[in-house]
Structure 1
Amino acid sequence: MDLITLTGEPWADYGLLDSGHGRKLERYGKYRFIRPEPQAMWAPASEDWHAHGEFLPAPDDEGGGRWHFHKPTPPEGWPLAWEEVRFTAQTTPFRHLGFFPDMAPVWHWMRTQIADKPEAECMNLFGYTGVGTLALAAKGARMTHVDASKKSVAEGKANAALSGMEDKPVRWMIDDAGKFVAREVRRGRRYDGIILDPPKWGRGPNGEVWKLEEGLPGLIADTRKLLDADSRFLFLTVYAVRMSALAIGELVRQSFGDLGGRVECGELSVREEARGLKLPTAIFARWSRG
C-alpha cells in the first residue's frame, strides 16, 4: 500500500506562518499564536516571532499546560470561515483553537465523494465542534453528528447558527461513539459516508472509557456494517499516537476490502507559508468507492 500526503494550504482565515525548534506560529484570522509542535524538529525561518499568545506545555499531572497571552484576545472567541462554513475559534485548555485546520483537504475530499449523491446520508463520529459536519451539510448531505461532550455539541449547533445552517438536516447526538455505532448496526441503518477522528483516550457521557489501540478495531468493524455497495467513503484520522499509517491502512483494507473500491493511507500535513515546507500533523486511512 503506497503512502500519500494530504496537505492543507493557507486560506484567508488560517495559515501556518513558521515552524521549528518544537513550536509553530499560526494565524487565526487577525490573531497569531504559538503552540508546541514536536514534529517541527528543524530550525524556523525566523527567530523573531510575534504572537498574541503562546501555549506553554506542562506535565499532565500539572494540568498539561496553559496559555500565556502577550496581547488581548477575545476569551469568548472570534468568528472565522472556511468557504461557506463559519465557526468560532478560541483558545482552549487543550492547546488547540476549537477546530483542526489540517482537516481542510479532508473536507474537500469528502465533498467530491458525495458530489453526485443528492441528500447523501453521512456521519461524523467524534465530531467535536462540527466544522466537518457543516462542510458536508452545506453540500446537501444529511448529517449525524456524534460527540460525547455536551459542550462540543453545543458549540457545533452554535457554529451551524453562525453559518446560517440551522435548517440543515443534522442530528446532533451527545453519545459514546462506539455505543452509538453499535446501536445503528442493530437498527439496520446505512450511510453513504463516515468520518471518524477518535482521540487517543477519552470518556463517554456516562463514564465509558475509550482507549484507541483497544477500541479502534471493533469500531472500524462496526462502521463497515453501516456502509454498503452504494456507499461512497470512510475517512479515519489518528493523532498523537505511536502508530503507523500502514497499520491503520491495513486495518481499513481488511474491513472494507469486500466492498471493492480503493483503500489509501498516509499523512495529513499543513504547508508553511514562510518556506512552503510541509508540517506533518496526523496519519489517516480512507476507503472510497473509486
Structure 2
Amino acid sequence: MATPHTFTLLSPADWQDYELLDCGDFEKLERFGRYILARPEPQAVWEKALPEAEWERQAHARYVREKGRQENIVLNAEKGAWQALKNMPEQWQIGYRHAGMQLQFRLALTAFGHIGVFPEQAENWNWIYQTLQQLPIQRPRVLNLFAYTGGASLAAAAAGADVTHLDSIRQTVSWSNQNRELSQLPDIRWVVEDAMKFVRREAKRGNRYHGIIMDPPSYGRGPKGEKWVLEQDLNELVALAGQLLEPANSFLLLNLYSMGLSALVMANLVRQHMGVEHPQMGELYLQAKSGHQLPLGTYLRFIR
C-alpha cells in the first residue's frame, strides 16, 4: 500500500498591510494598507459574520458583478464595476516583509475586480525565498509561469535568483516591473508569451532551471489568441516542466485555483513526470478576523 500523502493547510501570518476582515454570501471584506474593499468570492458560500451595515460602514469601495446574467456565469466571468463608498486613491502601495525579504506592491482597482496581489500566496513567497537561500547554487535560475504581477518573482529575486517571469498580458508584466522597482530588486527577464509555446521551445533547446513556479488559470488566452484549458493542458505542461527542472538542487511550486480539482491531481502528475513520490501539498486559505477560514486553491511543492 502506498504511503499516505502529507496534506497541509497554509495561511499567511503577521502581514501588517493585509487583513481578511470577514467573508460570506459570496463576498470578502479585506484591508489592504489603509483601504478596505468588498469583492466577490465564489467559495464564500456561508453567511457573513458581520452585519451588512458594518460592511457598508468599513468599505471604501465595493466590486459589483454585472446584472442580468446566469448565476454560474456571474461567478466566473469577473465582469462588473467598482462602487465608490468613500474617498480613496486610484492607486496605492502596500509592503510585505519576511526574514530578509522586503517587497512592495502597487495596487489599483482594475475593471475585472483584481487589485494586483493574491494575499494567500504570501506563505509560498516565504517558502520560495527560504528554499533559494538554502540551495548550494551561486545564482539559481528560476522560471515563473502565469506570473501575474510577480509576487513569486520578487521573492525569488530577493533571494538572489536569476528570474524569468512570463505572462501573456503585457500590461501585467509592466505592472510586475513597477513592483520590482518599488522593491528595489535586481532586474528580471520579462517574457510576454504563451506559456506552452515558451516551455516547448525551452525543452527543445535543452535549457534547465533550478526552480519552476506555475500558477495556471482554469482558462486563458495567449498574446496571439492561443487557448489554455487547465484540464486539457496541465498534463503536457507538467511533463515539459519535468524536462526543464534540474534533477538535483531544484524545486517546484504548482498552484491550482480551479474549484473541484484535487491536490491529488498534481501529486499524480509530478510522480509520473518528475519521479517525486511525496511532495508537500494542501490548501491555501485566509483566516478572517471574524472567524471564517476562506479556501483559495490547492498547492503542491517539493525540493530535491
Q: TM-score, normalised by structure 2?
A: 0.88
| Partner of residue 202 from structure 2, selected from 168, 178, 184 | 184
2:129–2:158 Cα contact (<8 Å) kept: no
2:8–2:281 Cα contact (<8 Å) kept: yes
For 1:85, what is the secondary structure of its paired residue? strand
Q: Distance in 1 between matches of 2:27 and 2:14?
A: 18
Q: Distance in 1 between matches of 2:166 and 2:299?
A: 20
For residue 42 of structure 2, what is the aligned residue in structure 1?
38
For residue 220 of structure 2, what is the aligned residue in structure 1?
202
Q: Distance in 2 between matches of 1:36 and 1:220?
A: 31
TM-superposed deviation, 1:74: 1.8
TM-superposed deviation, 1:71: 1.2
For residue 301 of structure 2, what is the aligned residue in structure 1?
286
**Counterpart AA for 1:158:** Q
Aligned-residue Cα RMSD (Å) equals 1.8
**Counterpart AA for 1:178:** M
Provide structure 2 residue ranges, at least 5 long, that are not aligned to the other structure.
Answer: none
Matches within 5 A, 1:111-150: 111-117=129-135, 118-150=138-170
- How many residue pairs match? The answer is 283
**Counterpart AA for 1:154:** S
| Partner of residue 230 from structure 1, selected from 248, 263, 268 | 248
For residue 235 of structure 2, what is the aligned residue in structure 1?
217
For residue 22 of structure 1, what is the aligned residue in structure 2?
26
TM-superposed deviation, 1:131: 1.8
The yes-or-no answer on 1:243 pairing with 2:261 is: yes
1:18–1:272 Cα contact (<8 Å) kept: yes
Matches within 5 A, 1:26-105: 26-47=30-51, 48-49=54-55, 50-58=58-66, 59=69, 64-75=79-90, 77-83=91-97, 84-105=102-123
The yes-or-no answer on 1:152 pairing with 2:172 is: yes
List per-residue Cα deviations over 1:151-184 (Å, max 9, x = no partner).
Answer: 011111111111122xx14111111111111111
Q: Distance in 2 between matches of 1:244 and 1:57?
A: 28
For residue 267 of structure 1, what is the aligned residue in structure 2?
283
For residue 174 of structure 1, what is the aligned residue in structure 2?
192
For 1:8, what is the secondary structure of its paired residue? coil
| Partner of residue 7 from structure 1, selected from 1, 6, 11 | 11
For 1:17, what is the secondary structure of its paired residue? strand
Tell me: CA distance 1:269–1:45, structure 2 relative to 1, closer, same or farther (3 Å).
same
For 1:114, what is the secondary structure of its paired residue? helix
Q: Distance in 1 between matches of 2:260 and 2:113?
A: 20
**Counterpart AA for 2:20:** L
For 1:115, what is the secondary structure of its paired residue? helix
Structure 1 stretch displaced more, 231-240 or 41-50 = 41-50
Q: Distance in 2 between matches of 1:31 and 1:10?
A: 18
List per-residue Cα deviations over 1:84-105 (Å, max 9, x = no partner).
Answer: 1111011122222111110000
For residue 273 of structure 2, what is the aligned residue in structure 1?
255
1:143–1:171 Cα contact (<8 Å) kept: yes
Q: Distance in 2 between matches of 1:240 and 1:89?
A: 24
Structure 1 stretch displaced more, 98-107 or 16-25 = 16-25
**Counterpart AA for 1:52:** H
2:18–2:119 Cα contact (<8 Å) kept: yes
2:202–2:244 Cα contact (<8 Å) kept: yes
List per-residue Cα deviations over 1:230-262 (Å, max 9, x = no partner).
Answer: 2321111111333112222222222222xx574
1:113–1:232 Cα contact (<8 Å) kept: no
**Counterpart AA for 2:212:** I
Q: Distance in 1 between matches of 2:296 and 2:30?
A: 14
1:149–1:174 Cα contact (<8 Å) kept: yes
List per-residue Cα deviations over 1:173-221 (Å, max 9, x = no partner).
Answer: 1111111111111111111111110111111111111111111110000
1:249–1:284 Cα contact (<8 Å) kept: no
Provide structure 1 residue ranges, at least 5 long, that are not aligned to the other structure.
Answer: none
TM-superposed deviation, 1:63: 6.8
